[in-house]
Structure 1
Amino acid sequence: MAKRGGGYSYDESYVKVRPNRRGTRPRTKDRPAHDDAIFGMVTTKDRGRWGVVLDRDVEILGDKAPAIVCMRARELGRTAIEVGDRVGVVGDTTARPGTLARIVKLAKRQSVLRRTADDTDPYERIVVANADRLLIVSAVADPPPRAGFVERSLIAAFVGNLQPVIALTKSDLADPSEFAQEFAALDVPVVLCGVDDDLAAVQKVVHGHITALIGHSGVGKSTLVNRLVPNADRAVGVVSGVGKGRHTSTQSVALRLPSTDGKPAGWIIDTPGIRSFGLAHVDAEQIVGLFEDLAAAAEKCPRGCSHLGPPADPECAFDELTGASWRRAQAVRSLLEALRSKQDWEF
């Protein structure tokens, strides 16, 4: 190095090569196969961390299997991972305090409960993944039952491949039979779960299944969860004076149903109270297509038929049906009307 005119000149001998710097590493699109990934179910989700109960631990420890804390691997990008998802995990899976594993795989979902903010919002929000049953919780009084919410929940369940069950709370305050009868033609089971009702029917519905619970705030959903899972300790609240319940659950969480033999008895996935239930991802033909007899009748309808019947559709083939099919057609028309109604976005 020689000094020239108040400065310095350099030659190549002064250039330091750092082969281990990040910028010098060759780039590759290859991703690790993670053949050693251990699969399990996501039970919690909170600010970039997921709780996962591993199948391996369930086989050994039964319902005592712990949830390990995981982060999402970089190669998954911004892939949505929701409660109920089946994921593959690598890293420290001991569940010791302070450990953190990585979610590297997301299995194909068998069912998805979706909603949108409203019926024009293109962004779908996944409420729960892989539940096989949906318990739609509605009070028969205080607050009064909202058929629009139940109808929209039924649509989401049918389209998302979940078996819906309607659970009516606060049956000590009003007769639930009239409201239950509104959905009889759809062959959707209805169970009573008021504070004075025996829960045997509900327990039979959820035992051995992954069951999501959905309901707007104040209907007693968290109270029901606490009865089904005594150690759940879900927060409960009262109905506000303006007619809408206070939110008492803020995060979806999967809770183990209690068992008597140490073996898993199923899961309850409690979801936050919902104030809006948009169905922008659903159209009328999807709903009609869920029922074989109605789908066959719809083929005889004129082009553009909305299947709502007179006066909008005076030539709708649903009006030619009889017996159980006719009753089912009227119930489905209620679902289609709920799908069209803007006032049922919020509850």
Structure 2
Amino acid sequence: MAAKRREYDEEDVRVRPGRSSRPRTRTRPRHENAVEGFVVAVDRGRYTCVVTDPADPGVPGGGPDERTVTAMRARELGRKSVVVGDRVALVGDTSGVTGALARIVRIAERTSVLRRTADDDETTAEGRLERVVVANADQLVIVSSLADPPPRTGFIDRCLVAAYDADIEPLLCLTKADLAAPDAVLDYYAELDLPYVLVRPDSDPEQVSRLLSGHVSVMVGHSGVGKSTLVNRLVPAAERAVGTVSAIGRGRHTSTSAVALRLPPPEPPSRKRKGDPGWIVDTPGIRSFGLAHVSAESLLHGFPDLVEGTLDCPVNCEHTAGEVDCKLDAWVAAGHADPRRLASYRRLLASRAGEVE
């Protein structure tokens, strides 16, 4: 005789209790008492921030007080990255004493973001890695030596494209001017009216400090061009490591991570330099400045001397050497731009397409 099939009702259903009786909510604390900080260094999940307290009105001639605070990123930030140059809100122990740890709970809206695409050997299955170099900079100082190693205009062109794409003003800093004349490099950029400064071993660092005063300036350059030496002259307390140039003309990497350094006030005080003395963001020496994140249109804006020559190009012209109807060749042939600039622009176009530069 077959067993009678049992019928189940709702009383047989067992409901698993929740892990917590506390209801979930998306409401986040406002942290109204958070203090503002400026990120000056990032190292393995720890963020060094400078917190500035306003000047005490009861102290005649007293300036604002600064302290350095170590912080971690709060979980409520999610996947938002924190980089050097970010202006953040801090809670927790912001005293700055040894062993104290605060939390970064907010990141202020960035006024600019300087990016570069990582080198070819830093690719993933999704493509080349994109790195944020610094946030909130308003000046890009492109450091290039005039000799030992020789200047690389291709690298300078890449940096200019990145600066214009990030809406950051460029400044060309030519070092080792005692070893070679700057005429060839300056002639190459003659149509751009690019601001520049020459640096020699006996140069007064004040001439560079005046150009950096009041700015957040990020310094980029190949290893061995004298960038760290220049930083040490501008900020003696920085003590950035200085390297040498190898026999094949390549510098050895000395700076290993980006760091923001406040420029010291002039001694004696100068009428030409008032207010905030400014910040220098020293970056590790790099051998390439990838631009895969820059659109083809923005790439052209890095070559303002070529823009007018594209006005008569057909719609959707890619401006490559293979474009029969591209008007850039005629523009250069008529003497409106340096042919080396067109060649550099097309090399960058080719590198974006994954071809060998």
TM-score class, shorter-chain normalisation, is 0.7 to 0.9
Residue 110 (structure 1) aligns with: 111
Residue 347 (structure 2) aligns with: 337
Residue 34 (structure 1) aligns with: 31
- Which residues of 2 match residues 221-300 of structure 1 at below 5 A? 221-260=227-266, 264-289=276-301, 298-300=310-312
SS at match of 2:99: coil
Q: Which amino acid aligns with 2:36?
A: F
Structure with more relative contact order (C-alpha pairs < 8 Å, separation 6 or more): 1
Report the more deviating stretch, 276-285 or 33-42.
33-42
Whether the 8 Å contact between 2:116 and 2:162 is mirrored in structure 1 is: yes
SS at match of 1:231: helix
Q: Which amino acid aligns with 2:102?
A: A
After TM superposition, give the deviation of residue 80 of structure 1 in Å: 1.0
2:66 is the counterpart of 1:65: yes
Q: Distance in 1 between matches of 2:177 and 2:33?
A: 51
Report the RMSD for the aligned CA atoms in angstroms: 3.3
Residue 15 (structure 2) aligns with: none
SS at match of 1:276: coil
After TM superposition, give the deviation of residue 315 of structure 1 in Å: 3.3
Q: Which amino acid aligns with 1:302?
A: P
Residues 248 and 63 (structure 1), Cα distance of their counterparts in 2 relative to 1, 3 Å cut: farther
Q: Distance in 2 between matches of 1:299 and 1:36?
A: 54
After TM superposition, give the deviation of residue 32 of structure 1 in Å: 1.3
Q: Distance in 2 between matches of 1:62 and 1:210?
A: 20
SS at match of 2:140: strand
2:187 is the counterpart of 1:181: yes
Q: Which amino acid aligns with 1:288?
A: L
Residues 346 and 225 (structure 1), Cα distance of their counterparts in 2 relative to 1, 3 Å cut: farther
Q: Distance in 2 between matches of 1:69 and 1:185?
A: 46
- Which residues of 2 match residues 211-226 of structure 1 at below 5 A? 211-226=217-232
Q: Distance in 1 between matches of 2:346 and 2:301?
A: 12
Residue 8 (structure 2) aligns with: none
TM-score, normalising length from structure 2?
A: 0.80
Residue 190 (structure 1) aligns with: 196
* Structure 1, unpaired ranges of 5+: 1-20
Q: Distance in 2 between matches of 1:325 and 1:290?
A: 19
**Identity value in percent:** 51
After TM superposition, give the deviation of residue 25 of structure 1 in Å: 3.7
After TM superposition, give the deviation of residue 62 of structure 1 in Å: 4.5
Whether the 8 Å contact between 1:307 and 1:316 is mirrored in structure 2 is: yes
2:326 is the counterpart of 1:316: yes
Residues 139 and 213 (structure 1), Cα distance of their counterparts in 2 relative to 1, 3 Å cut: same
Count residues in correspondence: 323
Whether the 8 Å contact between 1:41 and 1:87 is mirrored in structure 2 is: yes
Q: Distance in 2 between matches of 1:70 and 1:128?
A: 18
